[in-house]
Amino acid sequence: MISSVLTVENKNQAQTMSEVHLYLGRASDGWMLLRRTSLSHSIKDYSPDEALTEQLRPYHEMALADAHIVIGRLEGGDLAPENEIAAIPAAQIMDTALLDLINEVQMYYSGADVSAAALALLLAFTLCAPAFAADDAALTRGEFVMALCAQSGITGMEAKQAYFDDVPMQGELALAVRWAVLENVVKGYGNGKFGPDDPITREQMATMLYRWAQAQGQGFQGMWYFPLDYPDAS
């Protein structure tokens, strides 16, 4: 549900199909909606209808031919740089021509003043405004985790074990890292190191924000969902 509206969203490449059920009841002036539910079906569990496939074949071939019509050529490089972290498209979190297009499309069709992509970075800079204002030094991974921890209102948690070799057992950083590990917000580099003094990249920032939102029951769903289960992301 989004603002009391039942919304379905299938996975890309027609991996799923949605089934919506609307339950109606008689009312004095007609019908009223009593309940609504939805189901998501995995297409791989079903065989294609041969007769329908044959009927749609001419349109399928027309679409393929249309997709191969050259309307322009990209020269001098890609629209977006290569991903620094696999599974997080750089085009979604960096200021590129492609991200500008995504922002414009989102705002045009939603009527919003700020796109979802821009809002994520705005949240990150809002959380870390004190750290940015302190000096011109780059924001570190440790500072960002402490900002997330403070925003979540976490206090009084004791670091009962050392999760990383380069994080102390006591202090504000120890508290923030312990909270972030328990909430699955960070996983470290995978070699026993967290790198609290390393400058945080925008990809790492997006990863931590994404996991932080998931820990609060939010985050992307449907075709926009992507798991972040690799150790070097944060």
Tell me: pLDDT of 58 over 80: yes
Measured CA to CA, the distance from residue 121 to residue 175 in angstroms comes to 24
- Could you give the 3-state DSSP secondary structure of residue 6? coil
Provide mean pLDDT across the span 57-67: 94
Instruction: State the Cα angle at 41 between 38 and 44, rounded to 5°.
Output: 170
- The pLDDT of residue 217 is 62
Compute the CA torsion angle 218, 224, 227, 230 (nearest 10 deg).
-110
Share of the chain above pLDDT 70, in %: 68
Query: Higher model confidence: residue 112 or residue 62?
Result: 62
- The pLDDT of residue 84 is 66
Least confident of 35-49, 86-100, 119-133, 197-211: 119-133
- The pLDDT of residue 50 is 93
Tell me: pLDDT of 230 over 50: no
Q: What does the mean pLDDT of the chain come to?
A: 76
Provide mean pLDDT across the span 137-149: 84
- The pLDDT of residue 234 is 43
- The pLDDT of residue 205 is 81
Provide mean pLDDT across the span 136-160: 76
Q: Which pLDDT band, with edges at 50, 70 and 90, does 160 fall under?
A: low
Measured CA to CA, the distance from residue 147 to residue 129 in angstroms comes to 9
